[in-house]
Amino acid sequence: MARKGEMFAGLSVAIVTPFANGKVDEAALRKLVDWHITQGTDCVVPCGTTGESPTLDHEEHDRVIAITCEQAAGKIKVMAGTGSNSTSEAVRLTKAAEKAGADGALVVGPYYNKPMAEGYYRHFAAIAEASRLPIVIYNIPGRTAKNIEADTICRIGEIPTIVAVKESTGSMDQASQIIAGSQLSVLSGDDSLTLPLLALGGSGVVSVVGNIVPADVKAMLAAWNAGHIAEAQRWHGKLFPLCRDLLSLATNPIPIKAAMQRLDRDTGDVRLPLTELPESDRVKLERTLKNYGLI
């Protein structure tokens, strides 16, 4: 069965938002997009969790997406983070991303207000009605405080322009139910679960470690797609300790920004209420990067 969101198959990277002196560092953002173009990343995802979207004001949010689209134009796809716990705000953000030239929108389930199933459906239906962009549902109950149940996702997936789900529940049962019960493409939202999800019929990943090792994540995906299962397993075995040890240090994107600083790709500090990685954890970060062979 053909899946609707195969335009986003492969490696999408949830990019960080560079800051300098408390403001979005636009030059660093352009440089970041250029780097992913040279690395062969399939799609960049601005203003997701890794991009610190909750602390971007409305003007900054629109600007980050616009700059990313401008720099990416014709070279790499853009899946813009346009979610909100306010339906009207999510509509506005999605329409702005469409105008800026995004290829799709990543829309997180409404956080904090914990809608019922009907509320989730109407929320996504309203966004789809207001924009022609392909929409990827972002289901991450660890951030939103409520899971969008699989049967609700399958129902939402009947809307023509809802094409995929970024699956960040960690539940293979939920992913299996979505794959079996819908035409949605399923993208891994957890780097350590990408290969298991591919084995279920998933199509790719929206990656955090892709901020530092995109070529390696792509190599794992390519091996799997070519039917070289043992090679894909080897790549998974190499990537897994990095994913586990890096992302367990602190809340994303604190560790990934610290890693980028250490690898001479500084994108500035995180914004409050997030705080920089403590010195004791930087020792662990150093060990993790060294064990992987990055330093």
Active site members: 138, 166
Q: How far is CA 269 from CA 15, 19, 113, 275, in A?
A: 14, 7, 29, 8
The structure tokens listed for 217 are 């994540």
The structure tokens listed for 224 are 């799997």
Count of CB atoms situated within 10 Å of the CB of 126: 15
Which is it for the CA torsion 271, 105, 11, 72, positive or negative? negative
Burial 43-77 (b: 16+ CB within 10 A, else e): bbbbbbbbbbbeebeeebbbbbbbbbbebbeeebb
CA gap 126, 51 in Å, rounded: 25
Count of CB atoms situated within 10 Å of the CB of 34: 14
